[in-house]
Structure 1
Amino acid sequence: MAKTKTTYTGENVIDFINSYVDNEQKKADSLQLVKLMKEWSNAEPKMWGPTIIGFGNYHYKYESGHEGDAPMLGFSPRKAAFSLYVYSDTQKSQLLLTELGKFKMGKACIYVKKLSDINISVLNELSLETIEYLNEHHECSCRKKKAN
């Protein structure tokens, strides 16, 4: 079975942004996304793989038997556009996309050129919907631990 590339690396998030992102607006947007996703997820930013900044984590397992860990929320400041990993395929998320602004949709992520192209409050709602979905369907760091 193939090894998952998107794993926690321990690299420093701010060092990554400063060395990888060469556009000042994209750098500022990256730092803003770090601040927002940290607040929304209540989790510290961590590097997952070489270019994904993730927040929190969950464990997934497919019917094929493939399993692993992934961030609950995340983004990658790629050259062409930000890849935002904030989407769960729920009815609420689909409705929210109509209000998000200017973006392109991939299979599991949302591509955005710059933050000013989208509605940040809608991004917040999409992120919270994803955390709720993951909490209901996977073992994740977002799950509240029961008191003894």
Structure 2
Amino acid sequence: MSDLKTQENDGDVLAYLESVPKRLDDSRVLLSLMERVSGCPPKMWGDSIVGFGAYEYTNTTGKPARWMLTGFAPRKAQMSIYVMNGFSRYKEQLERLGKHKHSVSCLYVTRLANIDLGVLEEILTDSLAQMRETYGAP
């Protein structure tokens, strides 16, 4: 369907999370939160991203592509949390979130204890609704 290197696959999510012991407790929290908020089971995307749900779009070269609605990746330095519609509409929530950094569609957190999980849930819930409305994703 697309030329993306990172594809949804049948990798073992729990085995992957256990392979990053430094982030295991936070990974379990995000796994539960994202599964509940998205209503989708976790799936591996590539070898290091846990994603929830998927949507289809046309990339910049005109080819159809598929990507997760939301997800996370436990990294050595921090946890990466994917908010696919970006952060432009979440200025107020980001001010309340706690210690974090972000790029266009990725939130970086060193420890979940440093942020307000209720605010993260607000962002994820709205992001999922926006993505589903925009792309007609289930």
Relative to the length of structure 2, the TM-score reads 0.91
Equivalent residue number for residue 14 of structure 2: 14
- AA aligned opposite 2:17: I
Spell out the pairing of 1:21-100 with structure 2 (5 A cutoff): 21-23=20-22, 26-89=23-86, 92-100=89-97
**Counterpart contact for 1:87–1:127, Cα < 8 Å:** no
Long gaps (5+) in structure 1:
142-148
How many angstroms does 1:63 deviate by?
4.7
After the TM superposition, list the runs of 4 or more consecutive aligned residues in structure 1 that deviate by more than 4 angstroms.
none
How many angstroms does 1:87 deviate by?
5.0
How many angstroms does 1:6 deviate by?
2.2
Matched, 1:138 2:135: yes
Equivalent residue number for residue 114 of structure 1: 111
Alignment RMSD = 1.7
**Counterpart contact for 2:59–2:65, Cα < 8 Å:** no
Long gaps (5+) in structure 2:
none
Q: How many residues align?
A: 137
Computing the radius of gyration from Cα coordinates, the structure with the larger value is: 1
For 1:103 and 1:87, the matched residues in 2 are separated by 17
- Percent identity, aligned pairs only, is 34
- AA aligned opposite 1:5: K
For 2:16 and 2:45, the matched residues in 1 are separated by 11
